């Protein structure tokens, strides 16, 4: 049994927030707990606490909800300092973890990292980077604000100030200096993709302090192929994830609209996602219009639970990831591979790294619905593609293997 005492910190609890980072953090915690390792899971929530307390417990008592918020999203600073300097400090001093593993700092504040170093200077601090928030003030997307959403290849204070006219180049220079001063307190960084490591290396984090570790997946057997009727092609496609402009759902719908009529009659797209109602009106109107035009070809199902993924994929031939931003390591890629389903994805960022074009799936030119439509047409007309890709899919890193790498390589 490990002598480690591990505190895992996430910006959300998967019971309350369904993001991939939250699930990855919780899966790791559950694996440690199953091994008998002394560990706690601290997850931030925006739900009010009973009696106004800072912490409350969930499930077995080793899962703690942190009722706090961030007051400054530009500098990632907590909105209620007592939560950091007194309450979080007290938790650290009582639990005395040997490792504090942050899976995020948004909604909680970078001060938590500073507090760990101040209260427990010998404790090892690990931070998993799930996106580019430290580098990019535009929600960590590295996409320029505006309708065109142009991809950003490298941040500089002057370029960032152009994107945000209310801030000066000096503001962004000082922002970078502040974040890097906190990151210097981190002993090791973990990234689920090599692409993200390259971005942070260019930004200034030493490569020697970073390790690429995939988000571990529960171990399951490949799903059997979806049963086909006589003459039916592999034409069932699915999208999983948040519905917002960055995820490229409009590109996906435009692609299905552009399909030749004889192909469109042979395919169907299922959209499993949520939060369309929270998007800007022009985006909602665009998606609503496309859905109406494609009512016989596309079905909108709404949100789903993670435990439903296998059942949904059993009815699917292909998973499509049409994101227009770089992504890092979308959880849906690992989910699809885990169940033995090939992918079609944008040829940028973590998608281009994880989907081996022509081997485990197909890449299309990002943001180009015509290219995506052509790729869909090709694979519907030739069943060889699906069978060949499935044969080449390797099972992704398991949660057990993921935990082993952390314990043997990162936490020491």
pLDDT confidence of residue 331 = 86
Strand partners, 21: none
For the chain, residues with pLDDT lower than 50 are 1
Q: What sign results for the dihedral spanned by CA atoms 358, 361, 367, 373? A: positive
Of 41, 35, 27, 29, residue with least CA distance to 399 = 27
pLDDT confidence of residue 95 = 97
* DSSP H helical ranges for 194-323: 194-203, 249-258, 261-264, 281-293, 309-314
pLDDT confidence of residue 134 = 96
pLDDT confidence of residue 305 = 79
pLDDT confidence of residue 1 = 40
Question: What does the alpha-carbon distance between residue 168 and residue 162 come to, in Å, rounded to a whole number?
Answer: 8
Non-local CB neighbours of 278 within 8 Å, separated by 6+ positions:
244
**Token reading at 218:** 């529960």
The yes-or-no answer to whether 5-216+398-410 and 236-392 have a common fold is yes
Question: What does the alpha-carbon distance between residue 184 and residue 149 come to, in Å, rounded to a whole number?
Answer: 32
Q: Rounded to the nearest 10 degrees, how much is the dihedral formed by the CA atoms of 210, 36, 12, 163?
A: 0
Ranges of each domain in the chain: 5-216+398-410, 236-392
CATH for the 236-392 domain, from 3.40.50.2000, 3.30.9.10, 3.40.50.1360, 3.30.1300.10: 3.40.50.2000
Sheet of 124-128, strands arranged across:
55-58, 63-67, 38-45, 5-10, 99-102, 124-128, 188-191, 210-212
**Token reading at 137:** 């003030």
pLDDT confidence of residue 51 = 77
Q: Tens digits of per-residue pLDDT, 225-281?
A: 999 999 899 999 999 988 888 999 999 999 999 999 999 999 999 999 888 888 889
Q: Tens digits of per-residue pLDDT, 345-380?
A: 999 999 999 999 999 999 999 999 999 999 999 999
Radius of gyration from C-alpha coordinates of the chain: 22
- 255 CB neighbour count, 10 Å cutoff: 26
Give 18's Cβ-side CA count (13 Å radius). 15
User: Which DSSP string corresponds to 93-125?
Assistant: HHH--SEEEES--TTT-THHHHHHHHH-TTSEE
Instruction: Note the CATH number of domain 5-216+398-410.
Output: 3.40.50.2000
């Amino acid at each position: 049994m490990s002598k480690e005492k591990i505190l895992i910190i996430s910006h959300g609890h998967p019971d309350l927030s369904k993001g991939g980072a939250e699930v990855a953090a919780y899966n790791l915690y559950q694996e440690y707990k199953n091994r008998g390792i002394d560990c706690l899971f601290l997850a931030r929530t925006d739900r009010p606490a009973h009696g106004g307390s800072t912490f409350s417990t969930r499930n077995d008592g080793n899962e703690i909800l942190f009722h706090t918020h961030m007051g400054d999203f530009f500098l990632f600073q907590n909105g209620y300092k007592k939560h950091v300097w007194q309450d979080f400090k007290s938790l650290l001093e009582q639990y005395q973890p040997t490792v504090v593993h942050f899976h995020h700092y948004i909604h909680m504040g970078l001060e938590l990292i500073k507090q760990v170093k101040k209260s427990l200077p010998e404790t090892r601090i690990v931070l998993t980077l799930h996106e580019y928030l430290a580098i990019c003030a535009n929600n960590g997307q590295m996409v320029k604000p505006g309708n065109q959403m142009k991809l950003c290849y490298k941040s500089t204070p002057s370029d960032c100030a152009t994107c945000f006219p209310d801030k000066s180049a000096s503001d962004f220079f000082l922002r970078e200096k502040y974040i890097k001063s906190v990151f210097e307190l981190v002993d090791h960084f973990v990234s689920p993709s090599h692409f993200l490591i390259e971005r942070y290396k260019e930004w200034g984090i030493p490569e020697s302090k970073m390790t690429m570790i995939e988000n571990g997946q529960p171990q399951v057997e490949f799903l059997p192929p979806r049963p086909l009727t006589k003459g039916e092609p592999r034409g069932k496609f699915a999208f999983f994830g948040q519905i917002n402009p960055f995820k490229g759902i409009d590109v996906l719908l435009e692609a299905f609209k552009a399909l030749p009529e004889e192909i469109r009659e042979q395919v169907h797209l299922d959209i499993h996602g949520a939060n369309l109602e929270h998007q800007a009106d022009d985006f909602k109107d665009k998606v609503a219009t496309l859905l109406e035009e494609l009512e016989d070809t596309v079905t909108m199902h709404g949100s789903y639970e993670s435990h439903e993924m296998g059942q949904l994929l059993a009815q699917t031939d292909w998973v499509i990831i049409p994101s227009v931003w770089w992504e890092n390591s979308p959880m849906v890629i690992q989910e699809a591979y885990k169940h033995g389903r090939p992918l079609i994805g944008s040829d940028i960022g973590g998608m281009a790294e994880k989907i081996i074009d022509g081997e485990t799936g197909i890449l299309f030119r990002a943001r180009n619905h015509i290219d995506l439509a052509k790729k869909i047409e090709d694979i519907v007309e030739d069943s060889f593609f699906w069978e060949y890709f499935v044969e080449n899919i390797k099972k992704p890193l398991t949660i057990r293997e993921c935990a082993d790498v952390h314990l043997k390589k990162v936490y020491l």
